[in-house]
Structure 1
Amino acid sequence: MINVIGLGYIGLPTALMMASHGVEVVGTDYNAELVATLNHGHTTFKEKGLDELFRNALQAGIRFTTEYQKTDTYIISVPTPYDKFSKKVDACYVVAAVKSVMEVCPKGATVVIESTVSPGTIDKFVRPVIEADGFRIGQDIHLVHAPERIIPGNMVYELLHNNRTIGADERDIGEQVKKLYASFCQGEIVVTDIRTAEMTKVVENTFRAVNIAFANELAKICRHDNMDVYEIIRICNMHPRVNILQPGPGVGGHCISVDPWFLVGDYPSLAKVIDESMKTNDGMPDFVLGRIHTIMKEKGMTDIGRVGLYGLTYKENVDDMRESPTLQLLESQERHLAPTLKVYDPFIRQDVVEHQYHDLDAFLADVDFVVIMVKHDEIRDNMDKLAGKIVLDCHNICHLPGVYHL
């Protein structure tokens, strides 16, 4: 039996996937309300294919509880935030979960850390916790790192098809855990050591963050001299060894906007390119705010209350607002004591900010200037409704006449 600890964006799909492929699974989370929701037959967030996977897992016998189980295998998928001052990973949730596992696990159990951590985190924080309870790693407890590789919006597909990395002290334990993930994963599964597994996951997200920062910096350069950054990137990407990503209003989520900071925090004198790249990405919401004011001035528009931000989530077609560029922009505007912009997102049903709308037509009726912050399918399918509006398109998806871009 597998006890999956942490039933959020990573732990829940992982638990459901294993259960629906014949693995006995108990999911554990300290959040009693979340556990109750699952036990009443409802998922806790929206994701393509998740409800069907949930039904399959329930039929297979998955259970949910706030209690840690006594079993031989644990998968820990709890959040790993970072300290915004030191930029170092905050391993408190991982440490707390491991401590709770040590209270109930039998000797010989395997503890798999799925949470993304900086290289050396398991050595510095996890091993001491296990050894403090009198367990000998490699004999009484087997330690493994299997970093997740999925993204909101396509989780179910990526769980099935993405390649995986298993980091283990002992090769045979790594191979056993590989077999566990191979129960559902159709991608290649590589077994290596723990520190390498830690580093590869962080490097993957850092590569994308740096590439996005390059695109964002190009957008600023092109804006300065009135060039079309999208056409330039399109042509450059025709080169067989060039693959520039697209600029945007900022970077959100709990991977690309967070994980690279782990390297900056741990290697401040070495991670210079990464540091500057993250600052570039973090500065994009302010850049968008500046573009809004410039366009308003150009159009002779004085009432910022008639400006609306389309999209609250950090990416398209999900309900995940973690590190959302729109929320960052609103926070920045609030620091300048400016009136709050109107906001609408079809995926966010609860009120989370001031002047939030829950209907597209009502939102558009009350604004003259629309800023496309998120490229949800809804706005792609309703571009005709933007006719006659001032539009700042942060994703190059609107091709109406007179549209502004980054």
Structure 2
Amino acid sequence: MINVIGLGYIGLPTALILAANGTKIIGTDYNESLIGTLNAGKTTFDETGIEKLYKEAVDSGIQFSNKYAEADMYIITVPTPYEKENKKINPSFILSAVESILKICKKDTIMVIESTVSPGTIDKFVRPLITEQGFEIGTDIHLVHAPERILPGNMIHELKYNSRTIGADSTEIGEKVKAIYQTFCEAEIVVTDIRTAEMTKVVENTFRDINIAFANELTKICRSDDMDVHEIIKIANMHPRVNILNPGPGVGGHCISVDPWFLVGDYPGLTNIILTAREINDSMPEFVLERIHTIMKEHNMKDFSRVGLYGLTYKQDVDDIRESPTLQLLENMEKHLAPALKVYDPMINKKIVESQYLSFDEFLNEIDFMVVMVSHSHLKQHIDKLNGKLILDTQNIISGANTL
């Protein structure tokens, strides 16, 4: 039996797909409301295919509980925030989960940490905790790191078809864990050591962050000299070895916007490009604000109350708002003591910020100037409703609109 600890965006799909493919699973989370929802027959967030997977998992006997269970294997998928002051990982959620497991686990337990961590986190924090509790690593507890590699909006497909990395102290344990993941993962699964597994996951997201930063810096360069960045990128990408990404209003989510900071915090002085990329991407919400001001001046607009932001989530067609560029933009406005802009997002069905609307038509009636922060499919289906509106399109999806 496997006990999956943490039933958020990563843990729940992982628990469901394991159960649906024949593994006995108990999913554990301290959030009583979340467990109540799952036990009532409902999922806790919108995701393509998750309702079907949930039904298959329930039919296969998955259980949901607030309590840790005695199991052969534990998969830890709790959050790993970073300390904004020093850019270092905060491992407290992982350590709390490990401590709780140690209270009830039996000998020869495999403990798999899926949560993304900075390189060396397991050596610095997890191993000492286990040995301090009187357990022998390699005999009583087998440590494994199997970082997740899934993207909100396409989780189920990516769980099945993305390659995986299994970092373990011994090849034998690594192969055992690999066999479990092969019950649902059809892609290549590599077995390596723990530190390599830690580093590869962080490096993957850092690589993407750096490439996004190049596109965003190029946007600023082109804006300063009145050039069309999208036309330039389109032409440059015709070269067979060039693939510049699309610029945007910032970088959100709990991976690309967070993982590079782990390297910056752990390797100060050695992460110059990484740090610069993070600073560029973090600066984009402020850059959007500057564009809003410029366009308002050009059109003699003085009333912020008639400006609206379309999109609260960090990417299109998901309901995940973690590290959202829109939230960063609103936070910047608050720092400047500026009034909150009106906000609408079709993926969010409850109010989470000031001046948020739950009806698109009501939102449009109250604004003259709309800033497209997220390219939800909903907007593409309702572009005809935008006639007469002033538009700043940070996603370059509306023909003729102002762009970054």
**Which bin holds the TM-score, normalised by the shorter protein?**
over 0.9
* Correspondence for 1:136: 136
* Correspondence for 1:369: 369
Deviations 1:22-51 (A, max 9, x none): 000000011111111111111111111111
Give the counterpart letter for 2:198 in structure 1.
E
Residue 350 of structure 1, CA deviation: 1.0
* Correspondence for 2:165: 165
Give the counterpart letter for 1:223 in structure 2.
R
TM-score (normalised: structure 2): 0.99
Residue 309 of structure 1, CA deviation: 0.2
User: Separation in 2 of the partners of 1:346 and 1:42?
Assistant: 20
User: Separation in 2 of the partners of 1:178 and 1:235?
Assistant: 43
Residue 193 of structure 1, CA deviation: 0.3
Residue 77 of structure 1, CA deviation: 0.3
Residue 306 of structure 1, CA deviation: 0.4
Partner of 1:283: helix, strand, or coil?
A: helix
Deviations 1:225-264 (A, max 9, x none): 1111111111111222211111000110000000000000
User: Separation in 2 of the partners of 1:343 and 1:30?
Assistant: 32
Give the counterpart letter for 1:268 in structure 2.
P
User: Separation in 2 of the partners of 1:304 and 1:218?
Assistant: 28
Partner of 1:231: helix, strand, or coil?
A: helix
Percent identity of paired positions between Structure 1 and Structure 2: 64
User: Separation in 2 of the partners of 1:355 and 1:84?
Assistant: 27
Residue 142 of structure 1, CA deviation: 0.5
* Correspondence for 1:7: 7
Residue 115 of structure 1, CA deviation: 0.2
User: Separation in 2 of the partners of 1:108 and 1:237?
Assistant: 53
Give the counterpart letter for 2:136 in structure 1.
R
Residue 146 of structure 1, CA deviation: 0.2
* Correspondence for 1:405: 403
Residue 356 of structure 1, CA deviation: 0.7
* Correspondence for 1:78: 78
Residue 362 of structure 1, CA deviation: 1.0
Alignment of 1:54-203 (within 5 A): 54-203=54-203
User: Separation in 2 of the partners of 1:307 and 1:355?
Assistant: 11
Partner of 1:152: helix, strand, or coil?
A: coil
1:300 and 2:297 correspond: no
* Correspondence for 2:285: 285
* Correspondence for 1:240: 240
Give the counterpart letter for 1:225 in structure 2.
D
* Correspondence for 2:384: 384
Give the counterpart letter for 2:35 in structure 1.
V
Deviations 1:276-299 (A, max 9, x none): 100100010000000000000001
User: Separation in 2 of the partners of 1:239 and 1:139?
Assistant: 54
Residue 121 of structure 1, CA deviation: 0.2
User: Separation in 1 of the partners of 2:217 and 2:347?
Assistant: 30
User: Separation in 1 of the partners of 2:140 and 2:340?
Assistant: 57
User: Separation in 2 of the partners of 1:368 and 1:151?
Assistant: 34
User: Separation in 1 of the partners of 2:334 and 2:294?
Assistant: 18
Which consecutive residues of structure 1, in runs of 5 or more, have no partner in the other structure? none
Q: What stretches of structure 1 move > 3 A for 4+ residues in a row?
A: none
Residue 123 of structure 1, CA deviation: 0.2
TM-score (normalised: structure 1): 0.99
Residue 359 of structure 1, CA deviation: 1.0
* Correspondence for 2:326: 326
Partner of 1:312: helix, strand, or coil?
A: coil
Residue 178 of structure 1, CA deviation: 0.3
